Structure 1
Amino acid sequence: MQTQTVASMPLEQKVGQLFMAGFDGSEPTDGIRELIREYNLGNIIYFARNIASPSQVTALSAELQSEARAVGAGLPLFVATDQEGGVVSRLDWGTQLPGQMLIGACDDDAMARKAGATVGRELQSLGINLNLAPVLDVNNNPENPVIGVRSFGEDPERVGALGAAMAEGLQSVDVAACGKHFPGHGDTAVDSHLDLPVVAHEQPRLERVEFPPFEAAIQGGIDAIMTTHVAFPAITGDAELPATISSAVQTALLREQFGFDGLLVTDCLEMDAIADGVGTTEGAVRAIEAGCDIVTVSHTVERQRAAIEAVLTAVRTGRLTEERIDRSLHRIQRYKQQRVGTSETAEVSEWRRCATASKQLATEIANCGITLVRDESETLPFDTSRHLHVVSFTGTRGSPAEDDRYNPEVVAAALREVGFEITTHTMAGGETVDITPADEQIVAVSYDALSNEAQAETLQTLVADHDQLAVLAVRNPYDLAVCPDAATFLTTYDYSPGAIQAAAKTLAGTVEPTGTLPVTIPK
């Protein structure tokens, strides 16, 4: 790939290189093929809807790369996905690592670096060369509906160190890392998929809390940063202006003040914070005006095509200069030269080797990070020779960013594997659980009880009525805030396979929980 091809490329192909598009299904759609052929589309994003099996993903990546190589300047694709671990894991066949907050509970930079490299090798083996991770948001708002356990924690210095280490691990195996969501989505109570959040803090607070993880990642050489659809009036002077389309954020702050010369990638412009405001097509133009290099439109081919055409019109009418397009295109080419390489020769046999390593590391992280927050009554471990009741709650994804995969049965299955004879009780919350006598062994598996009053009431009743009870929080460590002071409380931070297995072994006494809460639980 030669950078001098930029000068001879038609404008349509230059602009197409600045877009990242998604599509439905496990095979290329006519729509995505047309975008590649007509505009030399430069970047693809996979979601769970595109992923069926390792062999299918490998073939899909190869087919898309072949399409891209056959048109225009023959430039390869960045093929991206969100493989953060935990509750945001697009690859869901048992190899996904626990999420970032569980890694934060380990508080081990070397572990984070190893996690990045391990995930990166698996992605490379499937033809994926850009991971939209790590999350660099500092989660200090217990009511945050979209970040939460996706963050390493609430300490800016530790979030920065762990995030920089994970990015270093990814890039050590030639998968580009993309830190998100700049300037910080951690202290919001609104999900930008649904509306425009506002972070109203003044500049000194932003410099102390929100900015440091991104600065650490930049200093560590991260390839890409993703912008967020959150308003920061202290930076922009406008409480209705998303950071994604603000030159004060993208150019003045990130490029000029922080010295970042890597790729600037937008979060999806079909999210409501943009789509219901300036709109997806106008948002694409304004994002590039602000300084972004890759514009993401993840879902609708009509909006993808309209957004590309809007940028082309902006250049033809003089609103955007072709020099501005070239500047981003040169940057994209530079990083493709560094990272695409081996992902174009992906093989399923290599994935199998990577999968074994992923599962081993998942166990290592989970055993390190699982956290026994409180056990004043010395309830744990439970006795595997005695019967155990498992009270579980149904749960859905906390945000459109997640995939809706939780099944309460996974905890019961893991407990059976470690030797318990169990009875399961699954409910939505608010129901009465008839378990007698009071000293029966019970594990109550909470799923975001902080946001579910009925679930919290059931937990509180169970704790009051039974002596041998432990609460296991498999989604939200902040559930501790709604548990009585007497409750034994164990948290895995997510329900990935490794995390659930570690929980079962902890309850049985074969794993000693050593993790430390990386967030403060409100009283």
Structure 2
Amino acid sequence: MQTQTVASMPLAQKVGQLFMAGFDGSEPTAGSRELIREYNLGNIIYFSRNITSPSQVTALSAELQSEATAVGAGLPLFIATDQEGGVVSRLNWGTQLPGQMLIGACDDDAMARKAGATVGRELRSLGINLNLAPVLDVNNNPDNPVIGVRSFGEDPERVGALGTAMAQGLQSVDVSACGKHFPGHGDTAVDSHLDLPVVAHERPRLERVEFPPFEAAIQGGIDAIMTTHVAFPAITGDEELPATISPEVQTGLLREELGFDGLLITDCLEMDAIAEGVGTAEGAVCAIEAGCDMITVSHTLERQRAAIEAVLTAVRTGRLTEERIDRSLHRIQRYKQQRVGESAGGEVPEWRRCVATSKQLASEIAECGVTLVRDDSETLPFDTSRRLHVVSFTGTRGSPAEDDRYDPELVAAALREVGFEITTHTIAGGEAVDIAAANEQIVAVSYDALSNTAQAATLRSLVVEYEQLAVLAVRNPYDLAVCPGAATFLTTYDYSPGALQTAAKTLAGTVDTTGSLPVTIPE
């Protein structure tokens, strides 16, 4: 886009270009069309609620791009989603890759780069040109309710290397990568969707642990970085100020000290850490004042309109200058020119060409990263000619950021595929499990037992009672901490198809996994 195009745009269209909005349903809503037509809305975010099939997503992307380029300056959209892999996978038709902690267990930069390129090709084929990944948070807090397995692990250097490689893979196929959540959401015990976390560490510790992955990604040429709604008093001097709306964090630290000149995108301003504090509309103005370029309001049309109007009012009253709006607009358009081009989405046959590659890579990552932490009693492999009892726990998503798709039957299906005849025992936790014979083969499938006392109690009793038992943690490797007496412990870090298929093969003895824990299990 030429400079004079920006200069000639009406103020409302300039401001609209700075916003990223979500909507409900698998087709554009009247509200989303209104935002595009009235404000020249510049960016759209997809969630699982918008996605039903590859053909539907392709058509949706094309329709939205057509709508956007027909109004105002005719500018294309950034269409974004969170396709991190594992528990945060908005596309759910069997091609999703395992999550980042499983890739961290592989500890292979080339694999991470290949994962980025593979995900990027699929997204690009569907008309999605911005992936809100990788997660660059260093997860060194086992009680973290929102990051956890979304992180590559607890080593800042390895998180930085793997995250940079994944970002470069995405961008190699012209999908912008967005590292998150700056300056770091890994050492929190509060979910910013629900409240304002505080990271109270002093600056030297932040420089040693939280900052390095972002520094590595910046040096590696990442297009975008997402802010976090977490307070960092060592930087701001304020325990109640979210980093997203702090000039000291976004301009002083990220822009000036770390030298980042790419896109700075907010996490959703409808999250309670912002919405229940300064409010979504005021938060939008504050975020732009702090140095952010793209303002995310993911859910509610009324809040989206209010936020856009609040920024317009701030410019008209002199609180924000139009030059400040132009600066972010130029940055957004620079990356749109580079990544979006003239494409309004691919064709479904193009997506089909991605499927085999995605599934093959998912298997490669899983066979590399699924981790047999120990098998001290040499319980494995189980005998496929004997019945296998599967004790599973029901589970729901750990955070609003995740996709709530876990079903114990997914594990049972994977075990049947490798030849086991199984008997399932699915419980919530806390109930007694009656398996008649003490010498039966048993796999106890834990799902975040670390944060579920009833599940943890049942898991511990099973470990004590049965000898031929393996614990399979399909959501949280930290579950080992609640059953340290487990002689055989296997973790997949997530329940993606490739991860569960590899776990089943490991239990049957047809695959030898090589993954190593990228986090420390508390005593």
TM over 0.5: yes
| Residue equivalent to 1:390 | 390
d(CA) in 1 for partners of 2:521, 2:496: 22
CA distance, structure 2, for counterparts of residue 28 and residue 500 of structure 1: 35
Q: Shift in Å at residue 299 of structure 1?
A: 0.3
| Contact 1:124/1:343, CA 8 A, preserved across alignment | no
Letter in 1 for 2:498: G
For residues 107-122 of structure 1, the aligned pairs below 5 Å read 107-122=107-122
Q: Number of residues paired by the alignment?
A: 523
1:25-78 deviation per Cα after TM superposition (whole angstroms, max 9, x unaligned): 000000000000000000000000000100000000000000000000000000
Alpha-carbon displacement from aligned partner over 1:69-107 (angstroms, at most 9, x marks no partner): 000000000000000000000000100000000000000
Q: CA 1:345–1:268 in structure 2 vs 1: closer, same or farther (change >3 Å)?
A: closer
Contact 1:264-1:293 within 8 A present in 2 as well: yes
What per-residue deviation string (whole Å, max 9, x for no partner) do you get for residues 88-147 of structure 1? 000001000000000000000000000000000000000000000000000000000000
- Aligned mates of 1:415, 1:404 — CA distance in 2: 22
1:216 alignment counterpart: 216
| Cα distance in 1 between the residues matched to 2:343 and 2:197 | 37
Conservation of the 8 A alpha-carbon contact between 2:82 and 2:89: yes
Cα deviation for residue 21 of structure 1 reads 0.2
CA distance in 1, matches of 2:419, 2:335: 50
Give me the identity figure in percent.
88
Deviation by residue 1:249-292 (Cα, 9 ceiling, x = unmatched): 00000000000000000000000000000000000000000000
Is residue 436 from structure 1 mapped to residue 436 from structure 2 by the alignment? yes
The alpha-carbon deviation at position 343 of structure 1 amounts to 4.4
1:484 positional shift: 3.5
Tell me, in whole angstroms, the C-alpha distance in 1 between the residues paired with 2:390 and 2:176: 42
SS of aligned partner of 1:358: helix
Residue 387 of structure 1, CA deviation: 0.9
Q: Does the aligned pair in 2 maintain the 1:126–1:343 contact within 8 Å?
A: no
> Shift of the alpha carbon at 1:439?
1.3
- Say which SS state the counterpart of residue 344 (structure 1) adopts: coil
Q: Distance in 1 between matches of 2:413 and 2:470?
A: 18
1:481 and 2:476 matched: no
By how many angstroms is 1:4 displaced? 2.7
- Which residue is equivalent to 1:166? 166
Deviations 1:228-251, CA, capped at 9 Å, x for gaps: 000000000000000000000000
Residue of structure 2 in register with 1:519 after alignment: 519
The one-letter code matched in structure 2 to 1:341 is G
CA distance in structure 2 between the aligned counterparts of 1:177 and 1:167, rounded to whole angstroms:
5
Q: Name the residue aligned to 2:288.
A: 288
In the TM superposition, residue 342 of structure 1 has moved relative to its aligned partner by: 6.3
User: CA RMSD of the aligned region, Å?
Assistant: 0.7
TM-score by length of 2: 0.99
Map residues 465-504 of structure 1 onto 2, 5 A cutoff.
465-504=465-504
Q: Distance in 2 between matches of 1:485 and 1:454?
A: 17
CA contact (8 A) 1:181 1:227 kept: yes
2:256 partner letter: E
Separation (CA, whole Å) in 1 of partners of 2:149 and 2:288: 31
Can you list the C-alpha shifts for 1:206-247, whole angstroms capped at 9, x where unaligned? Answer: 000000000000000000000000000000000000000000
**Separation (CA, whole Å) in 1 of partners of 2:470 and 2:113:** 33
Residue 3 of structure 1 and its aligned partner are, at CA, apart by 3.6
1:309 — aligned with what?
309
CA distance in 2, matches of 1:356, 1:68: 33
**Matching residue's letter, 2:57:** V
Match of 1:12 in 2: 12
Aligned to 1:408: 408
Distance in 2, matches of 1:244 and 1:177, equals 19
Residue 330 of structure 2: SS of its match in structure 1? helix
Are 2:327 and 1:327 equivalent residues in the alignment? yes
Once the two structures are TM-superposed, the CA of residue 465 in structure 1 deviates from its matched residue by 1.0
CA distance in 2, matches of 1:513, 1:8: 59
1:458-503 per-residue CA deviation (whole Å, 9 max, x = no partner) reads 1111111111000000000000000132431000000000000000
Distance 2:361 2:235 in 1: 40
SS in 2 for 1:168: helix
- Specify the SS of the correspondent of 1:420: coil
Residue type of the alignment partner of 1:391: V
Q: Structure 1: which amino acid aligns with 2:432?
A: T
- Provide the residue aligned with 1:456 in structure 2: 456
Task: Determine the structure 1 residue equivalent to 2:420.
Answer: 420
Secondary structure of the residue aligned to 2:209 is helix
Match of 2:95 in 1: 95
Of the structure 1 ranges 343-352 and 83-92, higher mean CA displacement relative to structure 2 is found in 343-352
Distance, in Å, in 1 between the alignment partners of 2:507 and 2:343 is 41
Structure 2 distance, partners of 1:463, 1:270, is: 43
- Taking the aligned partners of 2:191 and 2:345, their CA distance within structure 1 comes to 38
Q: In structure 2, what residue type is equivalent to 1:423? A: T
Change in Cα spacing, 1:441 to 1:61, as seen in structure 2 (3 Å) is: same
Between 63-72 and 452-461, the greater mean CA deviation after superposition = 452-461
Matched with 1:199 is 199
Runs of 4+ that moved beyond 2 A: 1-4, 484-487
Counterpart-to-counterpart distance in 1, 2:143 and 2:108 = 26
3-state SS of paired residue (1:145): coil
| Range with greater deviation from structure 2 (482-491 or 432-441) | 482-491
For 2:279, the equivalent position in structure 1 comes to 279
State the AA in 2 paired with 1:73. Answer: A
**Residue ranges of structure 1 left out of the alignment (5+ in a row):** none
1:37 match: 37
Separation in 2 of the partners of 1:455 and 1:234? 38
Alpha-carbon distance in 2 for matches of 1:345, 1:483: 48
Q: What does residue 75 of structure 1 align with?
A: 75
Query: C-alpha separation between the residues in 1 aligned to 2:343 and 2:481?
Result: 45
TM-score normalised according to structure 1 size: 0.99
**Secondary structure in structure 2 of the residue aligned to 1:210:** coil
Partner AA of 2:227 in structure 1: T
Measured in 1, the distance between the counterparts of 2:345 and 2:298 equals 25
Amino acid paired to 1:110: A
1:124-172: CA deviation from partner (whole Å, max 9, x where unpaired): 0000000000000000000000000000000000000000000000000
Residues 463, 484 of structure 1: 8 Å contact kept: no
Over residues 425-455 of structure 1, what are the superposed CA-to-partner deviations in whole Å (9 max), with x where a residue is unaligned?
0000011111122111000000000011111
Q: What residue is the counterpart of 1:265 in the other structure?
A: 265
The residue type equivalent to 1:35 in the other structure is: L
The 8 Å contact of residues 24 and 50 in structure 1, kept in 2 or not, is answered as yes
For 1:298 and 1:3, the matched residues in 2 are separated by 29
After superposition, the Cα gap between the structure-2 partners of 1:502 and 1:335, relative to the gap in structure 1 and judged at 3 Å, is same
